[in-house]
A and B are shown apart, each in its own frame.
Chain A
Amino acid sequence: MTARSLAYAYAVAQDAPGLRSALDGLTGVLREPVHLVRPTRGGDPVAAVSPVPAEDFDQAALAAHLEDLPWLEALARSHHGVIEAIARCTTVLPLRLATVYLDDDRVRSVLDDGQGAFLDQLSRLAEHVEWGVKLYVEAPAASQAAPSRAPDLSPGRAYLHRRRAEQESQHDAFRAAEEAAERIGAAAREHGAGRARHRVQQGELALEPGVNVMNDAYLVPLDHAEAFRADVLNSTDGLTGVRVVVTGPWAPYSFAAPGPAGETAP
């Protein structure tokens, strides 16, 4: 690399026996190899870093790139890939996308300065996983709503009849979603899961069919993770018009920031 490079920091993590080998051969943003930076006095925590070209990551370039969705997607997926790789073998604190330093020494000084706080956060998240839980209300099946009556009704009446049937089924679906959400809340309490809310997904990037009515993340103790996920998947049993989607396990992104981000269940 002849061009000047900067240090892109992905995450702060608890060092672990498997971490070095997990990073061996791992590439991050722009396929650059990822390495660990340690505090000056050694020990924990460590930071995962890779070099990035200054021409793409200085202030102006970065700001412009971040507005470019394909570029942003590539960056986000690379960032995410490194964090997942680390999460597989140790506790990880994901950093916000595009946390960039002049060099590794600057990363090291951040580790030195924040050592205590990082370690607190890491111990809080140890042995936990994050599940994403989304509830969708299915779009009403318009064709089924008013099937055989239509012929003897005038077009206007048939239309109103159909609309009313659609509205009723939609209303029922929202009631069902409420019921499912209550069951999920009960499961969270039972398994000691903390919750973080995300905005419901409704825009162009929301590809799942139906209307997203709940988009939460749960931080679940590892030994309850399987049971919690099963309970969540069962939360829509016997309910119609509502669908539950579980994603993950994720690194604890939604709970990495200290403070009241996760309402921990009693």
Chain B
Amino acid sequence: MTDPIANRLGPLPSRSAPPYGQSSASLADILERVLDKGIVIAGDIQINLLDIELLTIKLRLLIASVDKAKEMGIDWWEHDPSLSSRAGSAPSLEEENRLLREQIEENRRLREELSALRADPAALPPTEGTAENAAAPRRPARPKRAEPATRSATRRGEA
């Protein structure tokens, strides 16, 4: 960071030393410039504008947040298989909530089964029974632990 700018500034006609970042520039920095900025002049090869739109949006997903795109009312990638893994890793609160609810429901069902089993020890499966019994009471805590982490991911996304 301390290198003199004189070595880094190329555009002066008087300077011959190049070191414009070139290969060291990050792809994100380059793409946001060459794709989103620069002069647009109609070329002879008209790239289907819709395709370009899609490309740009996909790259926005790479570069910017899903939340931003959603703000813009764009959500088609949720149905795009090539992007679904990314969409999945993005904080979809509804989806996570649904999974949490399922987990809680599952835990509730297991507890009920367990208490039914306790009431009737004869129905216990021969080996797994005791292990299940011991593990079960701790289970309901799990979703609670997961919850704050979920919120924090969302908060970072919105920031």
In the complex, the answer to whether B63 meets A202 with C-beta atoms within 8 Å is yes
Contacts of B134 in A (CB 8 A): none
In the complex, the answer to whether A97 meets B18 with C-beta atoms within 8 Å is no
Interface residues in B1-50 by Cβ distance below 8 A to A read 1, 4-6, 8-13, 15, 18, 20-23, 25-41, 43-48
Q: Is A225 an interface residue (CB 8 A)?
A: yes
Q: Is B60 an interface residue (CB 8 A)?
A: yes
Contacts of B152 in A (CB 8 A): 163, 166-167
CA of A257 to CA of B144 in the docked complex: distance in angstroms? Answer: 51
Closest to B54 in A: A67
CA of A67 to CA of B62 in the docked complex: distance in angstroms? Answer: 13
Interface residues in A75-105 by Cβ distance below 8 A to B read 76-77, 79-81, 84, 87-91, 93-102
Contacts of B29 in A (CB 8 A): 132, 247
Closest to A177 in B: B159
Contacts of A249 in B (CB 8 A): 8-11, 20
Bits for B57-99, please: 1 = Cβ < 8 Å to A, else 0: 0101111110010000000000000000010000000000000
CA of A208 to CA of B26 in the docked complex: distance in angstroms? Answer: 10
User: Number of B residues whose C-beta is below 8 Å from A?
Assistant: 58
Bits for A197-215, please: 1 = Cβ < 8 Å to B, else 0: 0111111111110010101
In the complex, the answer to whether B33 meets A66 with C-beta atoms within 8 Å is no
In the complex, the answer to whether B86 meets A253 with C-beta atoms within 8 Å is no
Cross-chain contact of B37 among A73, A159, A256 (Cβ < 8 A) = A256
CA of A229 to CA of B4 in the docked complex: distance in angstroms? Answer: 11
Instruction: Name the distance in Å between A266's Cβ and chain B's nearest Cβ.
Output: 23
CA of A215 to CA of B63 in the docked complex: distance in angstroms? Answer: 11
In the complex, the answer to whether A80 meets B30 with C-beta atoms within 8 Å is yes
Contacts of A77 in B (CB 8 A): 22-23, 27, 30
Q: Is B156 an interface residue (CB 8 A)?
A: yes
In the complex, the answer to whether B28 meets A207 with C-beta atoms within 8 Å is yes
Q: Is B51 an interface residue (CB 8 A)?
A: yes
In the complex, the answer to whether B45 meets A203 with C-beta atoms within 8 Å is no
Among A34-42, A55-63, A143-151, A186-194, the stretch that binds chain B is: A55-63
Q: Is A222 an interface residue (CB 8 A)?
A: yes
Measured CB to CB, the residues of A under 8 A from B are 6, 9, 12, 16-18, 57-59, 62-63, 66-67, 72-73, 76-77, 79-81, 84, 87-91, 93-102, 106, 110, 114, 121, 129, 132, 137, 159, 163, 166-167, 174, 196, 198-208, 211, 213, 215, 222, 225-226, 229, 233, 246-251, 253-257, 261
